Structure 1
Amino acid sequence: MARKNTDTRAMIDRYRWWEVMAIYAGIFVFLFFLLSPFIEGFLVSLKPLSQLFSSPYRFWPENGSFKAYSTMWDSVPAFGWYIFNSFLISTVATIIVLLLVVPAAYAFARFEYAGMALVLGGFLAVSMFSGAVLLIPLFRLMRTLGLLNTYFAMIVPGVAFLIPSAIWLLRTYMMRIPVELNEAAYMDGASQFYTFRRVILPIAMPGIVVVAITTFIGAYAQQFIFALTFNSKTEYMPLPVGLFAYFGKQDVIWNELMAASFVGIAPALIIIFFLQRYLVGGLTAGAVKQ
């Protein structure tokens, strides 16, 4: 028992005091650069317009209020509908991506065939392209298919650009699942589909949740360029276009723009908050050898 306590104590105290201070200092610097834009944006949403360009600049708002959070709805009356559209587009895109990616990632993780490395490399190459590079051919394709001014004009390109990275992420997770599980199920007479549905899917659920969250965030963030190009109807416009409405010809209502930004990202933050334990579990799964 004494030996075990000594080993545990040595593991806990393996860092010196100055090393611990350096670690916490590095974490503080990282969090500062990560969170400072959000903090500054929130404080801007509390400031009156007269204070935004005052000299000298004041970091903390004087007589700050949440007035911009109520007046922003008057500046863009359809703002609530824009949020709904963004949430709908991201949700549908995430569902379609999962339906296509989960079986594809399982196939890439379990089966070997000629040219598989080339196909995976092609997926990786496609994910490096920006949607702006393919706007003209995508516009012609959407027009030919009759999808302009519809939700699918933003869902279909979004799904196409999200699938490659999702396959790579989920394939890596499924490769960590022991192949002996498939062999044991096969010895018991289970088919490939039954093994995939009843054995692999429950184990891979943390990884699937990670892919779902990253896909939802990606679909939520990439809607501006597609909506601005493929849609001209207000009833189908997503949130980024609604935020773009705050940029007037002469000036920008910065406090209302920041308030609308925080309200707009609230659905994504709520989803991440409730699914964070699955996110952490999926990202760290397989890091420790069992």
Structure 2
Amino acid sequence: MKTTPSINRYRWYEIIAIYAGILVFLAFLLAPFLEGFLVSLKPLSLLFSSPYRFWPENGSFAAYRTMWESVPGFGWYIFNSFFISTVATVVVLFLAVPAAYAFSRFAFRGRGPLLASFLAVNMFSGAVLLIPLYRLMRAMGVLNTYLAMIVPGVAFLIPTAVWLLRTYMLRIPRELEEAAYVDGASRFYTFRRVILPIAMPGIIVVTITTFIGAYAQQFIYALTFNSKTEYMPLPVGLFAYFGKQEVVWNELMAASFVGIAPAMFVIFLLQRYLVAGLTAGAVKQ
């Protein structure tokens, strides 16, 4: 006779309550995206019509065609955002992975204050540091280049990446490294061949969060450090739909969904690693 563990024995009203809670959560989470998609299907003249209609009358995908004509070079804006985010993510990982390993394994003077300073960096808004950053970018001679947007993004994303990876690496047993040392492996070899493969799920999580962060924070840096259209990222391209007389809301929503497609593609490719990274370490070894 098959027995069911007591932890799985839910009453019928408890099951209904659980699924109802999930549906309410998903409704609040997905409602803005659904409404934005429906706005992209509506003709501009019917956006503010009364009474409100959930499903658009005479809806079409015309805005997804005309948006390319309203903002020439919109595809280049998308490429710039993807390129800036990719380079920033690679640089952050190159610096944050060994830094997180050092903070998780070595006891050195000033480690605590240095980690605290990383958190302090995230307490400052990017707008507060615009003038010092502008003077720094001008002194470096990188204004109106990709570097003017990559360097500030990397500076603000590294602290979070170090903290996340350090927490993950603290869960990796030290006995694995000690066994490698006994076999004659160097510290660098152990880091490359033992630690990195085990920490890969956590690195994937940091990769996704860093890429999304770099993709989302480009607007203020682009307007401050760049005046050339060929280097402008996606948020500046979206801002072009705000005209002097009106906002082309349906094309703006269509452009927004097209613009986030590269980020969604990256998340889709790495989603199985994301789940593995989020659940790794939940069970004590």
Cα-to-partner distance string for 1:47-73 (whole Å, 9 max, x where unaligned)? 001110111122210010000000000
1:254 aligns with 2:239: no
How far is 1:274 from its partner?
A: 1.4
Q: Aligned to 1:199, which of 185, 194, 198?
A: 194
Cα-to-partner distance string for 1:104-129 (whole Å, 9 max, x where unaligned)? 00111111122211111110111122
Once residues 14 and 104 of structure 2 are traced to their aligned partners in structure 1, the CA distance between those partners, rounded to angstroms, is 40
Once residues 110 and 23 of structure 2 are traced to their aligned partners in structure 1, the CA distance between those partners, rounded to angstroms, is 46
1:130 aligns with 2:134: no
1:40 aligns with 2:4: no
Aligned to 2:7: 11
Q: Which amino acid aligns with 2:207?
A: A
Aligned to 1:149: 144
1:27 aligns with 2:22: yes
Aligned to 1:83: 78
Once residues 85 and 10 of structure 1 are traced to their aligned partners in structure 2, the CA distance between those partners, rounded to angstroms, is 55
Aligned to 2:65: 70
Cα-to-partner distance string for 1:76-123 (whole Å, 9 max, x where unaligned)? 011000000000000000000000000000111111122211111110
1:285 aligns with 2:280: yes
How far is 1:260 from its partner?
A: 0.1
How far is 1:16 from its partner?
A: 2.2
Deviates more, 1:120-129 or 1:222-231: 120-129
Once residues 196 and 119 of structure 1 are traced to their aligned partners in structure 2, the CA distance between those partners, rounded to angstroms, is 22
1:166 aligns with 2:165: no
How far is 1:12 from its partner?
A: 2.2
Cα-to-partner distance string for 1:12-68 (whole Å, 9 max, x where unaligned)? 21x222222222122111111111000000000000011101111222100100000
Once residues 23 and 166 of structure 1 are traced to their aligned partners in structure 2, the CA distance between those partners, rounded to angstroms, is 34
How far is 1:271 from its partner?
A: 0.9
Once residues 79 and 101 of structure 1 are traced to their aligned partners in structure 2, the CA distance between those partners, rounded to angstroms, is 33
Superposed counterparts of 1:239-250, under 5 Å: 239-250=234-245
Aligned to 2:261: 266
Secondary structure at the aligned position of 2:128 is classed as: helix
How far is 1:165 from its partner?
A: 0.5
Once residues 96 and 212 of structure 1 are traced to their aligned partners in structure 2, the CA distance between those partners, rounded to angstroms, is 11
Q: Which amino acid aligns with 2:187?
A: Q
Aligned to 2:109: 114
Aligned to 2:208: 213
Once residues 50 and 266 of structure 1 are traced to their aligned partners in structure 2, the CA distance between those partners, rounded to angstroms, is 27
Once residues 29 and 148 of structure 1 are traced to their aligned partners in structure 2, the CA distance between those partners, rounded to angstroms, is 47
Aligned to 2:233: 238
How far is 1:130 from its partner?
A: 1.4
Once residues 64 and 22 of structure 2 are traced to their aligned partners in structure 1, the CA distance between those partners, rounded to angstroms, is 32
Secondary structure at the aligned position of 1:246 is classed as: coil
Secondary structure at the aligned position of 1:132 is classed as: coil
Q: Which runs of 5+ in 1 are unaligned?
A: none
Q: Which amino acid aligns with 1:151?
A: Y
How far is 1:240 from its partner?
A: 0.2
Q: Which amino acid aligns with 1:144?
A: A
Aligned to 1:177: 172
Question: Superposition RMSD on alpha carbons, in Å?
Answer: 1.0
Q: Which amino acid aligns with 2:191?
A: F
Q: Which amino acid aligns with 1:69?
A: Y
Once residues 18 and 119 of structure 1 are traced to their aligned partners in structure 2, the CA distance between those partners, rounded to angstroms, is 51
How far is 1:289 from its partner?
A: 2.3
Once residues 189 and 21 of structure 1 are traced to their aligned partners in structure 2, the CA distance between those partners, rounded to angstroms, is 58
How far is 1:262 from its partner?
A: 0.1
